Amino acid sequence: KSKSSGKSSSKSSTNSKSSPGAEPKAAAFPPGTFSWIELGTTDATAAKKFYGELIGWTFADSPMPQGGVYTMVQLGGKDVGGLYKLENRPGVPPHWLSYVAVRDASLAAKKAVECGGKILQDAFDVMDAGRMAVLEDPSGAVFAVWQAKNHAGAGVAGNRIGDRIAVAVVGS
């Protein structure tokens, strides 16, 4: 979670057993493609009810090593995103964070600065799942980069969560 910006990403920042350059064990998304999406919310229970009814997602809660709960958002039994409760983050509104697959999260963060962006949370290991950084483009849009290790990202091929939300709302 990015404490410096007030923005967040919920993957645990516990040190990884894998080295930052370790080969991924999961089938990685091609670099430059969206691989994960995550909701930071003030009311996880209400969010699960809303998205479960609206889109048909199911949810699997897991305790995080540093406390709190990280929820895998699932479609057809496969992970498509994450959800967590914003805690101890005054002024941070509920938000979605999109992750873009990269080969090296540290290099992507450095390059973002060279291209006029900002690093909101420098690259860090997310246990043995992967490595991430939270960035801001020159217009202020926030996103994360994801270097896969044991967790490639969404488990549904061609998953486009934003499109699924739009279809569910428009199709209502």
User: Model pTM?
Assistant: 0.74
pLDDT at residue 166, rounded to an integer? 41
Q: What is the 3-state secondary structure (H, E, C) of 130-163?
A: EEEEEEECCCCCEEEEEEECCCCCCCCCCCCHHH
Please give the Cα distance from 93 to 35 (Å, whole number): 23
Q: How confident is the model at residue 40 (pLDDT cuts 50, 70, 90)?
A: very high
**Average pLDDT, whole number, for the chain?**
80
Gyration radius (Cα) of the chain, Å: 15
pLDDT of 27: 56
**Residue 67 or residue 28, greater confidence:** 67
Name the DSSP class of 24: P
Residue 35's closest CA among 120, 130, 140? Answer: 130
Closest CA to 133 of 21, 11, 31, 22: 11
pLDDT above 90: percentage of residues in the chain: 58
Amino acid 144: pLDDT: 96
Model confidence pLDDT, tens digit, residues 99-156: 999 999 999 999 999 999 999 999 999 888 899 999 999 999 999 999 998 887 887 7
Nearest C-alpha neighbor of 17 from the set 86, 78, 57, 65: 65
Q: CA–CA separation, 170 vs 83, rounded Å?
A: 23
Give the Cα separation of 74 and 165 in Å (integer).
14
What was the pLDDT predicted at 172? Answer: 39
**Res. 14 pLDDT band, cuts 50 70 90:** very low
Q: Please give the Cα distance from 73 to 3 (Å, whole number).
A: 24
- Element housing 19 (H / E): none
Instruction: Give 73-86 pLDDT, tens digit per residue.
Output: 999 999 999 999 99
Q: What does the pLDDT average to over 82-101? A: 91
**19-33, 99-113, 155-169: which is most confident:** 99-113
Q: What's the 3-state SS for 56-103? A: CCEEEEEECCCCCEEEEEEECCEEEEEEEECCCCCCCCCEEEEEEECC
